[in-house]
Structure 1
Amino acid sequence: MTKPFVYITRKISDDVVKDLEEHFEVEMWEQEEEVVPRDLLLRKANQADAILSMLTDQIDEELLSQSPNLKVVANMAVGYDNIDVNAAKRHQVVVTNTPDVLTDTTADLTFALLMATARRLPEAIDYIKDDLWKTWSPYMLAGSDLHHKTLGIVGLGSIGQAVAKRATGFDMNVIYHNRSRKEDVERQLGVQYASFDELLQQSDYVVCMTPLTEETEGMFDQETFRRMKDTAIFINTSRGGVVNEDDLYQALKQGDIKAAGLDVFQDEPIGADHPLISLNEVVALPHIGSSSIETRTEMMELAARNIKKVLNGESPVTPV
């Protein structure tokens, strides 16, 4: 009997691949820094019983409609806006993701980005590298305090809650806006609910943790930034599509807000010629929110477990 075929769209841990190979026929795109070409992905999907995908892979109607054997797409991410979930349902393909395992790691990165932006750490590092440090002055590279400031979190899911927990250790006042109020979390972490407008007006730091949906796409636009304090710092580690990047650029240039720390962008990857990169007020990272060795390995292992469950006729561990 022919083994089910699993296609992996990016190079992952050898141990995870070996585990899958004990049960299935496995093929993997061996590149780490290059997306699998679309024509190749379509050919392999046509043969595959399972795909272990990345956010960079578009799993859409075109692919699903010509993949007669496909039973599961295991996305190695929490988000799944790269997958047409409704089309997958129509074609009876199970979609899974990797929630929870990356919560603390992404929260760590979010808070690190917040601190780096507030205290202008990349500028300070370059200050020495560019041999500019010749003396000391009272306001040399002066940044913004975090302690006793107000942090506004938009989207209080598991990662947002983990960020709030870290902020309490810095004696920050934490407010949040979410589709639904979370009174149990308010009691547990001492955070307060606010309307979106109240959050924008009151926050010294606005952290976006919301998923990308039709409702949230482009929600941070010219009007949103104008309602924020001109001393406010904006942080986004969720999805690039929630921000109108042209409006953010203008908001920073015009002084509507003070600075921005970004781990995600609308069209990734970006290059050094991206307008936002030209601004000293921007700290930019290459979408590394969950990028620790431990967490990325756990994500790979969870995606593999989901594939094994579905191909063995069982329910997946983390279905979308």
Structure 2
Amino acid sequence: MNRILMNLGFEAKYDAFEERLKAAGFQVVRTGERLPAQIIECGKGCQAAVINAEDQWTKETMEGLKDTLGLIARFGVGLDNVDLDAARGLGIKVANSAGANKESVAECAVTLMLECTRRISWLDGKLRDGQWKGLPRTHQFSGKTVGLIGFGAIAQCVAGMAKGFGCKVLACDVIKNETAAKRLDTVFCEMDELLEKSDFISLHVPLTEDTRHMVSEAFLKKMKPTAILINTSRGPVVDEKALYRALKEGWIQAAGLDVFEQEPPGGDNPLFGLHNIIVTPHAASSTEEAAGNIADLCMENICSYFETGIPKYFIK
């Protein structure tokens, strides 16, 4: 019987996926270990591993399991915790659930845009404190310009939603999907133009050495003073010290963050003391619908690997 390391922890929300694996004939070794040595100990004899975003799938981890491990299947999309070069060198296939959570993350990004501009939570707090009149006006989202950095599946969903509000959409990406851009009435432009013209800038890039701290002081100073930054991608894409200064000193109007440089962020994170930021706990894809889609694609990857040697959503 093929053994699968299910490295997703023991939360009840993953129980149904464990049962699906068992029903498909796999022996499941379930764990929540994060560090290489502990993962290796739990994963001995496993042919595949289902992983989360927090596990450290380093060269050390994979070398410790290389005698049997042939597949790493991400229960989700991001792969910045996986050493892809090491996996290739050891002949270990890596797959993810690409596109499974695109609508959920896009909804969160647009919700943060609306929250930052209409200030719903702030108004809720004011009303609960007894204030009814005399509150300042907010701004509408409709008709504004939304700039997307990265134009993959999630960003394309954001574009479609923003167009529903009558927004103009700009995009910047090293890969220009002209077909999708035409369908979504989105205009590609260079980064400086996007920063100069956008009322909202939404980040949709993977975490790489090129994108780490991409949102720097120089980046933020090129944005409009009335602009709003949204990040539902990866926390380290944003230099939080620079963002704090930008929000504190009024370089930009506001920010909405679902992700942070350190996760979970400390309670003493200075960003939490600002009035012009909305934060959520890396929950953009945490919907029942996204989880169901991810589970389906993850099962497809595993079954395809054991049937053909190649997972369905193979990262080459």
Smaller-chain TM-score range?
A: over 0.9
Residue type at the aligned position of 1:104: E
1:36 aligns with one of 26, 33, 41: 33
* Shift in alpha-carbon separation, 1:20–1:182, aligned structure 2, 3 A: closer
Alignment of 1:1-320 (within 5 A): 3-10=1-8, 11=10, 12-22=13-23, 23-29=25-31, 36-38=33-35, 39-67=37-65, 68-129=67-128, 131=129, 133-137=130-134, 140-320=135-315
Secondary structure at 2:44 match in 1: helix
* Shift in alpha-carbon separation, 1:93–1:141, aligned structure 2, 3 A: farther
Secondary structure at 1:15 match in 2: helix
CA-CA distance at 1:267 after TM superposition: 1.4
Residue type at the aligned position of 1:102: N
Which digits, 9 at most, give the CA deviation of each residue in 1:128-180, with x for residues without a partner? 34x2x33402xx15322211111111111111111011111111111111113
Residue type at the aligned position of 2:6: I
Cα distance in 2 between the residues matched to 1:7 and 1:220: 36
* Shift in alpha-carbon separation, 1:183–1:306, aligned structure 2, 3 A: closer
Cα distance in 1 between the residues matched to 2:268 and 2:304: 44
Which digits, 9 at most, give the CA deviation of each residue in 1:159-211, with x for residues without a partner? 11110111111111111111133322232111111110000011111111111
Which digits, 9 at most, give the CA deviation of each residue in 1:236-278, with x for residues without a partner? 1111111111000011111000100001111111132211111
Residue type at the aligned position of 1:27: V
Residue type at the aligned position of 1:54: N
- Where does the alignment leave 5 or more consecutive residues of structure 2 unmatched? none
Secondary structure at 1:312 match in 2: helix
TM-score under structure 1 length normalisation:
0.92
Question: What is residue 32 of structure 1 aligned with on the other side?
Answer: none
Secondary structure at 1:66 match in 2: helix
| Deviation larger for 40-49 or 87-96 | 40-49
| Deviation larger for 103-112 or 182-191 | 182-191
Tell me if the contact between 1:16 and 1:301 (Cα under 8 Å) persists in the aligned partners.
no
Cα distance in 1 between the residues matched to 2:298 and 2:80: 17
Identical residues among aligned pairs (%): 31
